[in-house]
A and B are shown apart, each in its own frame.
Chain A
Amino acid sequence: MNARSLKGNSPGEINIALETCMAEGFSPTLAVVFISVKQDRNAVCELLTRHGIDVFGSTSSGEFTDGHESTGEIALLLLDIRKSNYCVLLESFDGKTDEEAAATLAKKALRKFSKPAFILCSSFFSVDGKVVNGEVLVRSIESVVGPQVNLFGGMAGDDLSFTGSWVFTNDQASDYGMVALVLNEDKIDLQGMAISGWKPLGVFMTVTKSEKNLIYTIDDKPALEMYLRYLGEERAGSDEQFDFFKTVGGHYPFQIEREGRQALMCTPIGYDKEKEALVCEADVPQGSRFRFSTPPDFDIIETVIEKAGELKSATQAEAEALLIFSCAGRLSALGPLATQENDGLADVWNVPMAGFFTYGEFGRAVNGKHEFHSTTCSWVALKEK
């Protein structure tokens, strides 16, 4: 399998880059498209369709290829993977639960391949405000395919506007659905992991009143006021210019306790002033126990890259393409170091890479199983056997 990464600030630029590499004799079958909501998705899909290239796409909150990072632009990873080794499925959540939709998608994948692996992108926030539960998607796919299923990916972004994120294929798009690049694992090798680095701090607290992704009270105290007070940002309530996500939310997510499993990171993405509630990236059940967490030390970048190197050495795996799903909170908390992290991973595998800043990641925890995460850098290296 050959791969090329492309970048551009418009469908036109992408078209030029695509034609250039095709003129060099490269004939991709599949395009992994990470694109800003500001860009014309349809135009990009049309030009790829015109060239007979299948599309697996997601909107982003910043996108990158090896050596380039942007916000508001387009990043592509083109693969000339055999068509018999993959399929692209899009499943809408409309009219069904997250669990049912994920199970339907997994069953379709199983009908296609006996050992399917998934690169999954899901919308995060529909245009009319419906939130997708990434945790449920993982558990549901796992229940159909089995606990050893390989599942990597991320939740679509929208340039941190929180107005709606999209997933799409050549001819379908959804702001309340998921798209899966289903790979035949008998023919495609996948290696990857997800690392966070955020550290718990302080005592356990309890969500005493919540509704879906809104937290009203923590330990019976107003959640918004408490969260801001704990982070020294009381002024935020009256400051219209206050950028909640970039200033606090993206840096200080909650670590929600999960019995017998790694804590679930949950990032507050905003607040509802009228309801005095915190708006979280995922549903937070009433009674959940959590701790505050602080951003990783700067050496997390080295850790992520070292762990990738260790995995590569241990498995003696080779790769032909690399996908990275890095939490949008990482970009906010690690700034230019997040770029170093992505480039460092690309250097480890020394293959074309594309990725985007996500609203939640799917991936294998170090020494663990596949989970839904937040704040992680989740990457997967692909090789056609």
Chain B
Amino acid sequence: MNQQIQLILDYFQQQEQLSADEKNALIKALKKVKSDLEIAEFKLERTEKVKRTTAILLDETIQELELKRKAVEETNAALQQSMEELKAAQAQLIQSEKMASLGELTAGIAHEIQNPLNFVNNFSDVTLELIGEMVEEVDKGNTEEVKAIARDVQQNMEKILHHGKRAGEIVKGMLQHSRTSSGQKELTDINALADEYLRLAYHGLRAKDKAFNATLHTEYDENAGKVNVIPQDIGRVILNLITNAFYTVNERKRLKEEGYEPVVTVSTSRISDHIEIKVKDNGMGIPKKVLDKIFQPFFTTKPTGHGTGLGLSLSYDIVKAHGGELSVHSDHGEGTVFIVSIPTNHQ
């Protein structure tokens, strides 16, 4: 085509009857046609080429993506497997933590069971003696006296039954604590729950460390009432916070500061649609640099073998699962207060 244009150009150049202006105008027009044609040819060729190359590039990209998709799928499957293994390991760790806290409770529970057992033993002894007396009165034919002794025996047996049941409740509670949470919420007396775990924790620590002593303050809000919670879970949180408080006041006491008196305060209060349980100590306090980390799993400031580093992490998760907040305020060297805040209307 361009050769033909060249031919026409040459022809015009040779035409003597055309004026210079006419020649120039024709040559200019032809050159424009030539340039436009060249551009059109180029565009056509490049469009074809780019179309073909882009198609191949996209095809290769799709194939590559397909390979990557398969690789991602395989990685996902492996990840899923790892997740399941991790979950199993976590479950084991949580169970270990529960058993560890159960260990902390054991001495306290033993102390708690000892009281009803003493009642059972004493009343059994007395009842045995009464039955001996009753047999004697039967032999004498003293019916009225037999009846009176039988009433005493009945009362004693009721007391034995009551304290037997109390011991049974304590054992049940212990089993509940170690068992995987049923996830079943029930209306729970928060003051009673806090008090029960305070006593268990205190007697538990005293049983292990006779030298341990601390002033326990309780400030229970009479209006705290019952809240819909999973009692063994919230109990575990309270126990953990109190155990930590005892640990830190005990540590500070070891420093033999003059005039230092360890004090742990457990308080409850109902604020609007929330219930707050505060565990306050005047122990060592938490340094600022570790304050952000204390709710992280496996973080512990306790020496090796003294803590799993899961207690506060699990507590945090439990409170969150109740729609609440677990917060901490601490001044290093002054003490710490943990606040469990649970909504009363959480389903």
Is the Cβ of B42 less than 8 Å from the Cβ of A231? no
B38: nearest residue on chain A (CB-CB)? A336
Asked if A252 is an interface residue, CB under 8 A from chain B, the answer is yes
Q: Please, which residues of chain A bring their CB within 8 A of the CB of B89? A: none
Q: Please, which residues of chain B bring their CB within 8 A of the CB of A295? A: 46, 50
B62: nearest residue on chain A (CB-CB)? A202
Is the Cβ of B38 less than 8 Å from the Cβ of A294? no
Asked if B56 is an interface residue, CB under 8 A from chain A, the answer is yes
Is the Cβ of B39 less than 8 Å from the Cβ of A340? yes
- Mark contacts of A134-163 with chain B using CB atoms, 8 A cut-off: 1 yes-contact digit, 0 otherwise: 000000000000000000000000000000
B contact set with A: CB distance below 8 Å:
35, 38-39, 42-43, 46, 50, 52-54, 56-58, 60-61, 64-65, 68
Given contacts A335-B42, A336-B38, A336-B42, A203 and B50 within 8 Å (CB-CB): no
Is the Cβ of B56 less than 8 Å from the Cβ of A232? yes
Q: Please, which residues of chain A bring their CB within 8 A of the CB of B50? A: 251, 294-295
Is the Cβ of A202 less than 8 Å from the Cβ of B53? no
Asked if A379 is an interface residue, CB under 8 A from chain B, the answer is no
Is the Cβ of A335 less than 8 Å from the Cβ of B64? no
Measured CA separation A232–B50 after assembly (Å): 11
Contact of A336 among B39, B58, B61, B65 (CB under 8 A): B39
Interface of B is mostly: helix
Given contacts A230-B60, A336-B35, A336-B39, A203 and B53 within 8 Å (CB-CB): no
Q: Please, which residues of chain A bring their CB within 8 A of the CB of B64? A: 202-203
Is the Cβ of A298 less than 8 Å from the Cβ of B53? no
Asked if A68 is an interface residue, CB under 8 A from chain B, the answer is no
Measured CA separation A98–B61 after assembly (Å): 36
Asked if A348 is an interface residue, CB under 8 A from chain B, the answer is no
Query: Could you list 24 examples of A-B contacts with CB < 8 Å?
Result: A201-B58, A202-B57, A202-B61, A202-B64, A203-B61, A203-B64, A203-B65, A230-B56, A230-B60, A230-B61, A231-B57, A232-B52, A232-B53, A232-B57, A251-B53, A252-B57, A292-B57, A292-B61, A294-B50, A295-B46, A335-B39, A335-B42, A336-B38, A340-B39
CB proximity of A129 to chain B, nearest CB, Å? 29
Measured CA separation A303–B43 after assembly (Å): 17
Measured CA separation A229–B64 after assembly (Å): 12
A-B pair number, CB within 8 angstroms: 51
Q: Please, which residues of chain B bring their CB within 8 A of the CB of A340? A: 39
CB proximity of A245 to chain B, nearest CB, Å? 15
Asked if A337 is an interface residue, CB under 8 A from chain B, the answer is yes
A292: nearest residue on chain B (CB-CB)? B57
CB proximity of B56 to chain A, nearest CB, Å? 4
CB proximity of B28 to chain A, nearest CB, Å? 13
Measured CA separation A201–B53 after assembly (Å): 12
Given contacts A202-B58, A337-B43, A340-B39, 6 further A-B contacts (CB under 8 A): A201-B57, A202-B64, A203-B68, A251-B50, A298-B43, A335-B42
Asked if A333 is an interface residue, CB under 8 A from chain B, the answer is yes
Given contacts A203-B64, A232-B52, A294-B50, A337 and B42 within 8 Å (CB-CB): yes
Q: Please, which residues of chain A bring their CB within 8 A of the CB of B68? A: 203
Is the Cβ of B56 less than 8 Å from the Cβ of A231? yes
Measured CA separation A229–B61 after assembly (Å): 11
Q: Please, which residues of chain A bring their CB within 8 A of the CB of B42? A: 335-337
Is the Cβ of A231 less than 8 Å from the Cβ of B53? yes
CB proximity of A109 to chain B, nearest CB, Å? 41
